[in-house]
Structure 1
Amino acid sequence: MADVGGWSTIESDEGVFTSLIETLGVKDVQFEELISIDADTIRSLGPVYGVIFLFKWTKETAGARPEAPLDGTYDPEANVFFAAQTIQNACGTQAILSIILNNEQPPSLPPIALGTELSTFKEFTSGFPPDILGEALSNSEAIRSAHNSFARASPFADETARPDEPSGDAYHFIAYTNVNGTLYELDGLQPHPISHGVCGDFAVQVADVLRRRVERYPEGETGFNLMAVVKDPRGRAKEIGDAETLEREERKRGAWEWENTLRRWNFVGFIGEMMKGVVAGKEQGGGKEYEAWVEKAKGETQKKLERRS
């Protein structure tokens, strides 16, 4: 994919996010998709560093108000890594880093090994206000290159789309994590980190906050995705000799690697050449046979449309 200095859109996918942080040097951490918002499901994943919530952004439900958020309270004095969102398409990676960089030394969980790249970035930006930190993040060539390496390859993608150009529904990522005993909501579109109070049981508390957020939407809205940031279960499986878990996780990693390879591959040329071969084969049988083949295809398409109707 051509790298023209912009940030490309990447998918909200556990394999993409896991491979992204590993590309940046983070070790022993992975992402797990959550299919329900309940404490037991979150606890079942083992040590959980935080969750990333993807939702359809609307002015009415986002809660971007200068005086107070719709839920929780602004904490401008919070001692957390918090970057303002200054560019389009990077909110997923920004939410990821909001959890990873705030859990280098968590009080009750195994520490996250950041690796050289992110450790250097965190040290360099220590003490930066959110707006300057957002600019530093957007200008990090290493983070941007890692992010863009997981964008779908397509000759039709516009990697430099303007944020003020309409492009259908807008989706946004935010992070929830426990920092120094407080549950924080870290949203780069907000002016400050949002505190949801003392964090006793992270799973219970974050599930309650997320349910309240989902309830702001009309009944039947399904434009949400939730992922947990957890410790890689393979290490524990090796320690206790859990061959079944280890095999399952290795299969999962293999599937992620294959899917990420497909994302980077541009199939347009292959499909074009394949269609040329099909058409050439039909033409060899004479024009009438080719026309009959086209008409048959049109008829099958029309039947499918009628059945859907």
Structure 2
Amino acid sequence: MPPKRNNKRKAAVVNAAAKKDGSTSNSAELTVPDRATWPGWVEMESEPAFFNVMLTEMGVRGVKVQEVYDMDQTFLLTLPQPVHALIFLFRYKETECEKSESCPKEVWFANQTPDFACATFALLNIVNNIPGLHLGAELQKFRDFTKDMDPFSRGDAIDDFQFVKRIHNSFARDNDLLQADMHMKGKVAKFRKRQAIAKATATKAAKRAELEAEKASNSKAPLQEKSSNIVQQSRTSDRAKRPTSRKSPKESAADERPDDEYKANGTIKARALSEEQEPSNGLRRSGREPKPRKPDLVSAAPADDDEEEGFHFVAYMPINGNVWRLDGLDRFPQVVGPFSEESGGWMQVARPHLVGRMEQYAASEIQFNLMAIVHDPVVGEKAALVENIKTLQAFGEKLDAVSEDWRTMDIAETKKDVVLGSSLEYGITAEDLERSSENTGVKTKAEEGGDLLKLIDQRKEAVMQQAGLRAAVRDSLQATRDDEEKARHRRHDYGTFVRSWLGALADQGVLTPLIEG
């Protein structure tokens, strides 16, 4: 589940970071855990660059994450096609009810068992449902291992999948690790407290049951019945023993009251006296109002006013003619609705559903985000560039057969930036060229042509086409490098440097005038 955020915990984490390079803390909770052995997960920021780097390091090829700024149909058409899935980030609220009661075999779905791991669970629930996607060696083995598991077992398997967990936690700063670690320790403390309360409650209930059993056994003992004559005789003897004296008018009137009225009043008084003084089943009865019971410690635990629900990632994608909501906090995947390509595709079903949710949250807040898992255009762009290189190689072979000196001709001049083989700059290897299928149509044209000038003109046309292909691949690779640069800055610990630098300035007395001013 997305854990609740606690402002008090945040303050403790900030204080821990401030004390990391100078002072010591008395609390063991303020020790930054070791990333390599720490068993938890940290929150992921909704940044497409981080998701792209995660997919790359996991070994996934062929898809990328791109931000969606508008759910308008015009903007959605500008996304690289096809759009495989959507990732919706929102502040989690337990308001929705589940409808599906099972997980179909064609849907790979995992329950989110650990806290703070919803980003990775959303990614894995998506990539494991895209047909024909290159997952990489590690993820492919994991998918084969979990294909027959139920969603809960898959969630536990992901929690134990150190390969993915290390990539996920590599984006965490020390403060993130501290906060998540304190959250885990807090959950353990609350669990132990609940266990202690449950044990105390069970002990109290057992004692209460023993007392009730003892009272029940005592109540079954035979009671000695007293005759009403004994009570009447006692009253007569008491009257006989009273001294004779003059009575007031009120007393005389009381003596003249009918016996029935006297008996009634005497019965009421005796009953009141017995209720006030005589014990019943070993318990004292009183006419006072009972004190209010103390609330149950488990059910009436005070809520933390500083806590608020955390953010959560949910995936939406098409699978076998239906749009599915893959929320790791649901027990099973949920069907949003059926779709068909004739009616506009799966986005026509997902779009109104997401717009409705956004409008619902926008009434109170605007803290949500949407990202799309799209086909990585660099795959097709590199394939087109490889085909162009193969075409130029075919023209070169044919021209070599016609004339060995064709390269010295002015009209056959080749610029230095033209790629004629493998290229490190564009990420094209010799294996890529060997695996590529040859463009049969262009090569046949080159084989049929015997005119040197005609072949040179055809080759020149292919060279001009390569300029646009190189630009497209260059832009895509630059976007990948930008993502890697953002991830590098995120992973670098600038806090240590800043704290050390401020400490050195303080030692030199540079900060004193600034603080006093």
Change (3 A) 1:295 1:179: same
The one of 16, 31, 41 equivalent to 2:50 is 16
The one of 195, 198, 215 equivalent to 2:338 is 198
Q: Percent identity?
A: 28
1:122 maps to what in 2? 143
1:2 maps to what in 2? 35
Larger strand proportion of the pair: 1
Change (3 A) 1:273 1:152: closer
2:380 maps to what in 1? 236
TM superposition shift of 1:155: 7.9
Can you give the 5+ residue segments of structure 2 that lack an aligned partner in the other structure? Answer: 1-33, 191-303, 386-467
Residue 39 of structure 1 contacts residue 203 of structure 1 at CA under 8 Å; is this kept in 2?
no
The one of 343, 346, 357 equivalent to 1:213 is 357
Residue 42 of structure 2 contacts residue 177 of structure 2 at CA under 8 Å; is this kept in 1?
no
Q: TM-score, normalised by structure 1?
A: 0.81
The one of 266, 269, 284 equivalent to 2:493 is 266
In 2, distance between residues paired with 1:124 and 1:16?
27
Q: Does 1:132 align with 2:153?
A: yes
2:91 maps to what in 1? 56
User: AA paired with 2:43?
Assistant: T
Count of residue correspondences: 275
Q: State which drifts further: 139-148 or 218-227.
A: 218-227
1:25 maps to what in 2? 59
Structure label with greater radius of gyration: 2
Can you give the 5+ residue segments of structure 1 that lack an aligned partner in the other structure? Answer: 69-73, 106-110, 284-289, 297-309
In 1, distance between residues paired with 2:78 and 2:101?
30
In 2, distance between residues paired with 1:5 and 1:150?
15
Change (3 A) 1:130 1:77: closer
SS at match of 2:42: coil
SS at match of 1:262: helix
User: AA paired with 1:83?
Assistant: A
The one of 502, 512, 515 equivalent to 1:275 is 502
In 1, distance between residues paired with 2:500 and 2:331?
51
Q: Note the aligned Cα RMSD (angstroms).
A: 2.3
TM superposition shift of 1:142: 1.3
Residue 20 of structure 1 contacts residue 150 of structure 1 at CA under 8 Å; is this kept in 2?
no
SS at match of 1:234: helix
TM superposition shift of 1:220: 5.4
Q: Does 1:223 align with 2:367?
A: yes
TM superposition shift of 1:247: 3.2
Larger helix proportion of the pair: 2
Change (3 A) 1:281 1:169: same
2:122 maps to what in 1? 95
1:254 maps to what in 2? 481
In 2, distance between residues paired with 1:204 and 1:279?
60
In 2, distance between residues paired with 1:210 and 1:124?
33
SS at match of 1:59: coil
Task: State the Cα deviation string for residues 100-136 of structure 1 (Å, max 9, x = none).
Answer: 0001x2xxxxx31011111111111112111111111
Q: Does 1:76 align with 2:102?
A: yes
SS at match of 1:9: coil
TM superposition shift of 1:244: 4.1
Q: Does 1:181 align with 2:321?
A: yes
User: AA paired with 1:17?
Assistant: F
Residue 86 of structure 1 contacts residue 134 of structure 1 at CA under 8 Å; is this kept in 2?
yes
Q: State which drifts further: 200-209 or 23-32.
A: 200-209
User: AA paired with 1:13?
Assistant: E
In 1, distance between residues paired with 2:71 and 2:101?
25
